[in-house]
Amino acid sequence: MRKLKAWLSSRWISTICAILIQFFLLGAFFLFLDRTFEIAHIVLVLISVVAVFHLLSRNMNGSLKRMCCILILMFPWIGGIFYFLFGKKKTHPASYRCVVNSSYLPKVLRYALSCAYGQLCDHTQSIYFKSEEAFRESYLKELSKAVHVIYMEYFILAEGQFFSEILDILVDRMNHGVQVYLMIDDIGCIRTLPDGFEKKMQKLGIHIHIYNPLKRVLSLNGNTRDHRKITVIDNHCAFMGGNNLADEYINNIKKFGYWKDAAVMVKGQAAAWCAQLFESFWNQHAPEPIHNDCPISSVQYESDGWVVPFMDDALDEELSALNIHLFMIESAHSFIQIQTPYLILKDEMKHALMRAAKSGVQVQLLLPHVPDRWFVHEVSRSYYKELIQSGVRIFEYVPGFNHSKVVLNDEIGLCSTINMDYRSYVHHHECGILFYQSSVLDQMREDMRKTIEQSVEIHLSDCEKTSMYVKVFRTFMSLWEPLL
């Protein structure tokens, strides 16, 4: 009973209840007007019709348009009102950076430089982590070396053994004069962190900012989340990838079998640019600006190919994460391999995968066999049949949940925070690192090979065994894909 009371009184539940109450009260008010006054009925229906035409004229994804139009027409007395009150456009145009003398680079790298805040780095040491144990050991080791500043930005942070180890190191480093900046996403952490966590961190001396706090006011602003996972130490060493700071990400606890993830560590020029990306995002959203006087590292690394850290700003008009995935698929000559936990495809992504397979490119998708959210997994599986018919090979990782976000083709490797779904492509702030002519590509290929060995291939016959009830459920859920 105590657990139930604590659950009902939690900020997560109280906030959701407050938003739902406002939603139903507003809907009931306009429904009353619609049923009581004929002129109000006409006006509300006209507003919904105008909303539909306005929606159709917008430059946005077809599936998202379809979903919004259905909702507006299902509830004409409130649909148009909600659209004009809460339908959010991107807040600022895309930013572009000047690219100089890069014609020798593949298109995806040139795009990341010009449209995704990328920086071309060569004097960089890179290590790819295909196991959580190796990531954990290196992560804690590098944190303990911090002398000047530590930047940390994560979608999910949970109290537990892993974060306790991290916090002990942070406190020790702060006692030696190190400044620590921590940014976490409110939705990602709302069920994993206790009330008062922010004040606890501030009391310890950590500069903390919670991105886009969930408020008890009806709004769609909460749909934009910070999905990045990045740590930068002294502008010299950076970690980026799928790992959040919670025990399940390093298999201290097992909720969905073995948790498989991927991350990279870069040292040198690429790490310095990761620090710049963090600082620009922090200064844009946090009230307290960063004044980083950390000296430039004197360590010089030999060139190991080209490394391009980049980010996708969810608030601008450029769908950088989607376009980088598309460029990697379209530029593949003989193969494209993708590890992703979710497969909720925008139309252009689905057709790009199918075109590549039909053109003779070996397309391999690696997904989890054990899902973290069963209904999302069913939506992912709804794409299997059409993709397999086009020649795409699909594998499911049998030991557990594959959370890796890795894309690899003949020339380029990508380790990022980007899922193959609407949320990552449209609603989330994301980041990643592209590798070209780098030894990291060999490490990625080996990881892909071993992951496939531990996976089961899905065949067309498996798709045809799907029951009618599951097919109906998948069809229903497909209407709401832009929200998943």
Q: pLDDT truncated to tens, each residue of the chain (484 aa)?
A: 555 555 555 676 777 777 778 777 777 777 777 777 778 778 888 888 887 777 777 766 666 677 777 777 777 777 777 777 666 555 555 555 555 556 778 999 999 999 999 999 998 999 999 888 889 999 999 999 999 999 999 999 999 999 999 999 999 999 999 999 999 999 889 888 888 899 999 999 999 999 988 876 666 667 789 999 999 999 999 999 999 999 999 888 888 899 999 999 999 999 999 999 999 999 999 888 887 777 777 678 888 899 999 999 988 878 999 999 999 999 999 999 999 999 998 888 999 999 999 999 999 999 999 988 888 888 888 899 999 999 999 999 999 999 999 999 999 999 999 999 988 998 899 999 999 999 999 999 999 999 999 999 999 988 888 777 777 877 777 766 666 6
State the Cα–Cα distance between residues 258 and 129, nearest whole angstrom.
16
In a domain, residue 420? The reply is yes
In a domain, residue 98? The reply is no
Q: Computed from CA positions of residues 67, 69, 71, 73, in that sequence, does the dihedral angle turn out positive or negative?
A: negative
Packing angle, helices 38-57 and 11-36, rounded to 10 = 120
State the Cα–Cα distance between residues 146 and 237, nearest whole angstrom.
9
Range of the domain at 209: 122-312
Residue 234 burial (10 A CB sphere; 0-12, 13-18, 19+): buried
Q: Which two tokens stand for residue 70?
A: 């259905």
pLDDT at 224: 86
Tell me, yes or no, whether 344 and 468 share the same domain: yes
Residue 230 forms beta bridges with which residues?
153, 240
Q: What are phi and psi of 280, to 5 degrees?
A: -65, -40
Q: What is the CATH number of the domain that holds 329?
A: 3.30.870.10
Q: Which two tokens stand for residue 403?
A: 């959370």
Tell me, yes or no, whether 335 and 407 share the same domain: yes
Tell me, yes or no, whether 278 and 394 share the same domain: no
User: Using an 8 Å Cβ cutoff, are 393 and 399 in contact?
Assistant: no
* Residues whose CB is less than 8 angstroms from the CB of residue 484 and which lie 6 or more positions away in sequence, other chains included: 342, 344, 376, 379, 421, 422, 423, 477
Q: Which two tokens stand for residue 229?
A: 């996972």
pLDDT at 310: 96
Tell me, yes or no, whether 189 and 338 share the same domain: no
Q: How many domains does the chain have?
A: 3
Tell me, yes or no, whether 300 and 156 share the same domain: yes
Tell me, yes or no, whether 372 and 472 share the same domain: yes
Q: Which two tokens stand for residue 51?
A: 């909303």
Any idea which residue has 């959040």 for tokens?
Answer: 244
Q: Furthest-apart CA pair in the chain: how many Å? A: 76
Of 312, 347, 370, the residue at which a domain comes to its end is: 312
Tell me, yes or no, whether 406 and 282 share the same domain: no
In a domain, residue 106? The reply is no
**Rg, Å, the chain Cα set:** 23
Tell me, yes or no, whether 375 and 466 share the same domain: yes
Tell me, yes or no, whether 78 and 126 share the same domain: no
Q: Which two tokens stand for residue 292?
A: 């980083």
Consecutive H or E run containing 241: strand 237-241
In a domain, residue 20? The reply is yes
In a domain, residue 305? The reply is yes
User: Using an 8 Å Cβ cutoff, are 280 and 82 in contact?
Assistant: no
Would you give the DSSP letter of residue 345? Answer: -
Of 30, 58, 86, the residue at which a domain comes to its end is: 86
Of 266, 293, 312, the residue at which a domain comes to its end is: 312
Q: What are phi and psi of 362, to 5 degrees?
A: -80, 110
Residue 266 burial (10 A CB sphere; 0-12, 13-18, 19+): buried
Tell me, yes or no, whether 277 and 362 share the same domain: no
pLDDT at 243: 93
Asked whether the whole model's pTM tops 0.85, one would answer yes
Tell me, yes or no, whether 236 and 136 share the same domain: yes
Q: What's the full length of the chain, in residues? A: 484
Name the CA dihedral angle for 322, 324, 329, 335, rounded to a multiple of 10 degrees.
Answer: -130
Beta-carbon neighbour count of residue 258 at 10 Å? 15
In a domain, residue 189? The reply is yes
State the Cα–Cα distance between residues 292 and 290, nearest whole angstrom.
6
Tell me, yes or no, whether 303 and 417 share the same domain: no
State the Cα–Cα distance between residues 243 and 154, nearest whole angstrom.
9
3-class DSSP state for residue 336?
strand
Provide the CA 52 distance to its chain's centre, in angstroms: 29
* Residues whose CB is less than 8 angstroms from the CB of residue 385 and which lie 6 or more positions away in sequence, other chains included: 460, 463, 464
In a domain, residue 102? The reply is no
User: Using an 8 Å Cβ cutoff, are 303 and 123 in contact?
Assistant: yes
In a domain, residue 219? The reply is yes
Pairing of strands 149-154, 230-233: antiparallel
State the Cα–Cα distance between residues 416 and 240, nearest whole angstrom.
7
Pairing of strands 400-402, 258-260: parallel
pLDDT at 461: 87
CA distances 329 to 42, 128, 313, 365, Å, are 49, 21, 22, 12
DSSP H helices, 359-439, are 374-381, 384-389, 422
pLDDT at 7: 53
DSSP H helices, 88-183, are 107-115, 132-143, 161-175
pLDDT at 27: 75
